[in-house]
Structure 1
Amino acid sequence: MANGLGRLRTPYQVMMVSPGQHAISCRPGMLLHSTHALERLTGPLDTLIVSGGFGHAEAAANPVIVAHVQRLARISRRVASVCTGAYVLAAAGLLDGKRATTHWSFADTFAARYPGVDVDPGPIFIRDGKISTAAGITSALDLTLAFIEEDHGVELARQVSRMLVTYLQRPGNQAQMSMFTAAPPPGHDAVRRVVDHVNANLAGDVSTVALAAIAGVTPRHLTRLFLTHMGQTPGRFVREVRVAAAAHLIVSTSLPLAEVATRCGLASTETLRVAFTRRYGIPPSQYRARHRGAHSNRG
């Protein structure tokens, strides 16, 4: 799409590469035909992208594949992975000492297997030097649009986004999951009651003591339940839900930031700014401006 819309002097050329140029069997039966053999591919290359999938663990444990990824990375201007393709980059030593992401459901396992990688399961993609890692599936589109913008400017990236009828364009530090896409509340009745109460009463008293009373347990026991069923303390859960709700209001309304903070149970605009910057990497005002700009340029 970029080639056609941009009338590029040096158009992108896409190559599908696999060991031995063998076809790639995907679930539940799709067959991808390769255009080049991994072993015979030479450079220089512009962008090397390693895709994830159900065979990522085997690929990362295959010394031949890993060695060729190391070789090709040295002759590539930039290197990227999609989803669990990050395992292969990590096995090749390309992520050592770098900040990286992968699909949130694999993040814990990924971090345990590669302790030298600074794993952040939050953003949809991360760029650290010449290495980029995307969370998976649709985040690959966001990373690709970022590449097009880097290569040819924001206007071409916007044109491509409009033609693809995709979001224009999510910043890399946007969260993989939000309060609207996260997994449903856990099966434990007390924890579910607390989760429902927090979502409905963000501006109220949602301290651990107050939530424990709603659950009918002690604060200490509620913390244990949340760690077991939610993977975090009640206090951290409340903070994350409040900031996610604030992000939704910032993008979808014109409310002053002070009002957003009040509605979401945050003490002040400064509290909102600190919490928001910690979570999304940019202050609320910049987040609003960026998303407003994206909405105003949609096709």
Structure 2
Amino acid sequence: MRIVFLLIPGLELLDLAGPAQVFGTAAAFGHDYTLDYVGEREDVPSAQGVTLRAVTRWPDLTPRDLIVVPGWNTVQGAGRHPLLAATARRLAAHHAAGGTVASVCAGADALGASGLLDGRRFTTHHELQDLLAARYPRATIVRDVLYVTDDRVITSAGIASGIDLALHLVAADHGPAEAAKVARDLVVYARRNGDAAQAGAMLRHRSHLSDAVHRVQDRIDADFAAPLPLAGLAAAAGISERTLTRRFTAATGLTPLRYQQLLRLERAEHLISQGETSEAAARSVGFQDARMLRRLRGR
């Protein structure tokens, strides 16, 4: 998967660096991401004063590839996008060919200029929401969320929310365990949009200092769809089953089994939201059939 970052003069460094770090870390973990940096000119000044170097020739893209438009400084010029018409057409053409286009913060303005927001839901930095809602009246602004996905057009809120967007895409490509591994390496929380819990179970229960419990969580995160007997988890942590249960519950508020069930439930919910049947989703996450899944969803 090729990730192309479109560098626009005055870009905010964290809008670019956050998603680039997520995909770069995922690539270091063995996932097939190639990062490219394209601009309308080679030298691209950032809002923070660092000048970045881009290539001006676009790589050949396939429908599997992603274009990301980081935001730029909007203090001057009322946030108006500075794109050339040819660049806006290229964004629209990639989407029309089946590709995905994403934005961070003010980058939503570039997507709007390309016609990609028309008839779709989108979000942006809270200070720009009224402005862009008025500028693109055929689009629907969604407030108070970190990111919005609508027909392969993905928009995120301000600055650091680009990290959340990128983690969401890694999870969609490779599963939540891999996204959680990347998030832990970056020392950030994995979040979701406003239609789901703001923090996934994998990281919602990580705010403790027990190394033994973290090791067990790592084991469960990596293989939550498989049977994981308590004896094997305790042996991996080098402690007794009783001690593991006590420490795990004290650190997370859950037993190891309940934690595993939460991970299975979250993944099954994601699969169902993507069109899987309850039965298929249940089997994908390790249940023999959908009965246990229905019981857990009912709770």
Q: Same fold (TM over 0.5)?
A: yes
Q: Does 1:296 align with 2:216?
A: no
Match of 2:62 in 1: 44
Change (3 A) 1:63 1:124: same
Task: Pick the aligned partner of 1:111 from 133, 142, 146.
Answer: 133
Aligned to 2:180: 158
CA distance in 2, matches of 1:68, 1:292: 38
**Secondary structure, counterpart of 1:37 in structure 2:** coil
Aligned to 2:28: 4
Partner letter of residue 136 of structure 1? G
How far residue 43 of structure 1 moved from its aligned partner, in angstroms, is: 1.7
Q: How many equivalent residue pairs?
A: 179
Separation of aligned partners in 2, 1:28 and 1:98: 32
Where in structure 2 are the equivalents of 1:117-132 lying within 5 Å?
A: 117-132=139-154
Runs of 4+ in 1 over 3 A off after TM superposition: 290-293
**Contact between 1:43 and 1:76, CA under 8 Å: does it hold in 2?**
no
Task: State the TM-score, normalized to the length of structure 2.
Answer: 0.55
The reply to whether residue 94 of structure 1 matches residue 116 of structure 2 is yes
Residue number in structure 1 paired with 2:269? none
The 1:128/1:79 distance shift into structure 2, 3 A limit, reads same
Give the aligned residue type for 1:15.
Answer: D
**Deviation per CA, 1:41-84, whole angstroms, max 9, x where unpaired?**
33225111111102752425x32221222223334531111101
Given that 2:91 and 2:101 are in contact with CA atoms closer than 8 Å, whether structure 1 keeps it comes out as no
Contact 2:94–2:100 (CA<8 Å) still a contact in 1? Answer: no
How many angstroms apart in 2 are the aligned matches of 1:292 and 1:18? 38
| Partner of residue 19, structure 1 | 40
Cα distance, 1:291 vs structure 2: 5.0
- How far the C-alpha of 1:16 sits from its partner, in A, is 0.6
Q: Is the 8 A contact 1:83 1:136 kept in 2?
A: yes
Partner AA of 2:203 in structure 1: A
Q: Kindly state the Cα deviation for residue 27 of structure 1 after the two structures are TM-superposed.
A: 2.1
**What amino acid sits opposite 1:3 in the alignment?**
A
The unaligned stretches of length 5 or more in structure 2 are 1-24, 208-213, 215-299
Percent identity over the alignment is 28
Q: Which amino acid aligns with 1:59?
A: P
Letter of the 2:59 counterpart: L
2:79 pairs with 1:59: no
8 A contact 1:103–1:121 mirrored in 2:
no
Q: Deviation per CA, 1:77-115, whole angstroms, max 9, x where unpaired?
A: 311111011011111111111110000001101011110
Alpha-carbon RMSD = 2.2
How far off its partner does 1:170 sit? 1.2
TM-score by length of 1: 0.55
Equivalent of residue 170 in structure 1, options 191, 196, 212: 191
Report the Cα distance in structure 1 between the residues aligned to 2:139 and 2:202, rounded to whole angstroms: 34
User: CA offset at residue 127 of structure 1?
Assistant: 0.7
**Greater helix content:** 1
Instruction: Please give the secondary structure, in 1, of the residue aligned with 2:148.
Output: strand
**2:95 is equivalent to residue 73 of structure 1:** yes
What are the residue-to-residue correspondences of 1:261-272 with 2, within 5 Å?
Answer: none
Asked if 2 retains the 8 angstrom alpha-carbon contact of 1:96 and 1:117, the reply is yes
CA distance in 2, matches of 1:95, 1:3: 30
List gaps (5 residues or longer) in structure 1: 174-280
Secondary structure, aligned partner of 2:86: helix
Q: What is the distance in 2 between the residues matched to 1:28 and 1:144?
A: 22
Q: Whose relative contact order is higher, 1 or 2, with alpha carbons under 8 Å and at least 6 apart?
A: 2
* Equivalent in the alignment of 1:83: 105
The structure with the largest alpha-carbon Rg is: 1
Query: Aligned residue for 2:265?
Result: none
1:32 corresponding residue in structure 2: 52
